[in-house]
Amino acid sequence: MNAMTITLTIDRAGRLVLPKPVRDELQLSAGDSLELESSEDQIVLRPVRGTATLRKKQGVWVMRTGKPLSAKVVNETIRKVRNERGHIDVSSLRTPRRRAEKTS
């Protein structure tokens, strides 16, 4: 990221808004945490990384890891969770379909 100098204004509630190009570059979105370090006359903000966060999205809990998961990983995880809950693994019950033999 290129160095950027910009003047921000703190509102009455003590909030400030990070410019969209900064949020995009650092992959920040609403609800993300920042670490604040202050010394003498400087303030440094750093994104807190390394922990996956859970968020409720349209009524469903979603884990944000920063990387998309493949369909294979998702399906394997669903299978493992269902097995842990005592559900039958339907994929293990499937057998190849055989054509019915005609008898004359």
All domains in the chain, ordered by first residue = 1-49 (2.10.260.10), 53-91 (no CATH)
What pTM was estimated for this model as a whole?
0.45
Residue 99 has pLDDT above 60, yes or no: no
| CA–CA distance, 82 with 61 (Å, rounded to integer) | 17
Report in angstroms the alpha-carbon separations of 41 from 44, 70, 98.
10, 46, 77
Instruction: Tell me the per-residue pLDDT of 29-78, one tens digit each, with 9 for 90 and over.
Output: 888 889 999 999 999 999 887 666 677 778 887 877 777 888 998 899 88
